[in-house]
Amino acid sequence: MSFEQLGLIEPVLKALKDEGYTNPTPIQQQSIPLVLEKRDLLGCAQTGTGKTAAFAIPLLQLLQQDQQTAPRKGQRTIKALILTPTRELAIQIQESFAAYGKYLDLKHLVIFGGVSQHGQTEALRRGVDILVATPGRLLDLINQAHISLKDIKFFVLDEADRMLDMGFVHDVKRVITKLPDNRQTLFFSATMPPEIQTLANAILRNPSKVEVTPVSSTADTITQSVYFVGKQDKRGLLLHLLKEHDIKTVLVFTRTKHGADKVVKDLQKVNITAEAIHGNKSQNARQRALSNFKSQQTRVLVATDIAARGIDIDQLTHVINYELPNVPETYVHRIGRTGRAGADGAAFSFCDAEEKTYLRDIHKLIARNIPVVDSHPFHDSEVAAPTFRGIPPKPQGGGGRSNGGFSNNRPGRNNQQRNSSSGQQRSSQPRNRQTSSRYEN
Q: Which of 242, 226, 402 is nearest to 317 (CA)?
A: 242
**Among 20-24, 270-274, 308-312, the range of highest mean pLDDT:** 270-274
Across 153-167, 272-286, 383-397, least confident range: 383-397
Please compute the mean of the pLDDT values over residues 168-173 and round it to a whole number.
Answer: 93
Ordered DSSP codes for 334-397? HHTTSSGGG--EEEEEEE-GGGHHHHHHHHHHHTSPPPB---STT--HHHHPSPP-SS---PPH
Q: How confident is the model at residue 202 (pLDDT cuts 50, 70, 90)?
A: very high
**Among 92-96, 101-105, 186-190, 254-258, the range of highest mean pLDDT:** 101-105
pLDDT for 163 equals 87
Q: What is the pTM of this model?
A: 0.61
Phi, psi of 157 (to 5 degrees): -105, 110
- Bridge partners of residue 274, in order along the sequence: 300
Q: How confident is the model at residue 356 (pLDDT cuts 50, 70, 90)?
A: very high
Higher pLDDT, 154 or 17: 154
Whether 415 has a pLDDT exceeding 90, the answer reads: no
Helix (H, G, I), strand (E, B) or coil at 261: helix
DSSP tag of 267 = H
Across 88-97, 252-261, 423-432, least confident range: 423-432
Cα 22 from chain centroid (whole Å): 22
The domain 3-211 is placed in CATH, from the list 3.30.70.100, 3.40.630.30, 3.40.50.300, 3.40.710.10, at 3.40.50.300
Higher pLDDT, 381 or 341: 381
365 backbone φψ class: left, alpha, beta (φ>0; ψ -120 to 50): alpha
Q: Which fold has domain 222-419?
A: Rossmann fold (3.40.50)
Phi, psi of 181 (to 5 degrees): -65, -35
Buried b (16+ CB within 10 A) or exposed e, 40-52: bbbbbbbbbbbbb
Phi, psi of 228 (to 5 degrees): -80, 125
Residue 20 burial by Cβ neighbours in a 10 Å radius (0-12, 13-18, 19+): middle
Buried b (16+ CB within 10 A) or exposed e, 243-275: eebebebbbbbbbebebbbbbbebbeeeebbbb
For residue range 363-412, what is the model confidence (pLDDT) as tens digits?
988 888 999 999 999 999 989 886 544 444 444 444 333 333 323 333 33
- In the chain, CATH 3.40.50.300 sits at 3-211, 222-419
Higher pLDDT, 372 or 246: 372
Check: CB of residue 339 under 8 Å from CB of residue 222.
yes
Please compute the mean of the pLDDT values over residues 157-175 and round it to a whole number.
Answer: 90
As a whole number of angstroms, the distance between CA 313 and CA 251 comes to 10
Check: CB of residue 330 under 8 Å from CB of residue 253.
no
